[in-house]
Amino acid sequence: MVEYLSFDINSAYQEIKERAEAAPVTNKEAWDEMVEDYIDEKLGVGEFDKDDNTEGMIEDLKNMWLEYEKNFNIR
C-alpha cells in the first residue's frame, strides 16, 4: 500500500462504507463505482490535488471490497 501525506485510507474507507451501507452496495462493481465517485468528489472540492496519486488511492480503496463484503455479510 502506498503512503499519502494528506490521505487517511481508514477515514476514506469509513466514509465510503457508510455510503455503501446506505445505498446499499452489494457487489464489487458498485463498490468500485462508489470509490471512484468519492475520489472525484474530493478532487472537486479541493481536498485532493491533481498532483496527488489519486489512481493509487482508488486502487487501494477498491481493494478494500473484501473487508466491506466480509463486514456487511453480503455472501
Domain parsing of the chain, residue ranges? 9-72
Task: Look at residue 7 and tell me whether its pLDDT is greater than 60.
Answer: yes
Q: What are the pLDDT digits (tens) for 20-69?
A: 999 999 999 999 999 999 999 999 998 888 788 899 999 999 999 999 99
* Cα 50 to chain centroid, rounded: 17
pTM, to two decimals: 0.85
Task: Look at residue 3 and tell me whether its pLDDT is greater than 50.
Answer: no
Backbone CA torsion sign across 42, 37, 39, 75: positive
Torsion of CA 26, 14, 62, 31, to 10 degrees: 20
